[in-house]
Amino acid sequence: MTIRTIPSLQPNLYEEDYYLWIETTLQQIQNQDIENLDWPHLAEEISKWALKNII
C-alpha cells in the first residue's frame, strides 16, 4: 500500500475526512513524526479501540 505525502496539521481533518486522517496519522507514526501527530484524537481512537476489543 502506498501512502501519499499529506500535509500535517490540517485543521479539523479528523472531523472532515476520517479516512484521510487515518492515512495521515499512520504515515506520521511510520515516519516517527511525533511532533505533528493529532494526539487528542489518536488517544481517543486508541481508547475506543481498547474498550471495543479488550474490555
Tens digits of residue pLDDT in 6-53? 555 566 999 999 999 999 999 999 999 999 999 999 999 999 999 999
Question: What does the pLDDT read at residue 2?
Answer: 55
Q: Name residues whose C-beta falls within 8 Å of residue 42's C-beta, 6 or more positions apart in sequence.
A: 25
- Give me the residue spans of the domains in the chain: 13-53
- pTM for the full model? 0.74
Q: What is the pLDDT of residue 1?
A: 53
Question: How far is the CA of 26 from the CAs of 42, 55, in angstroms?
Answer: 10, 24
pLDDT of residue 54: 87
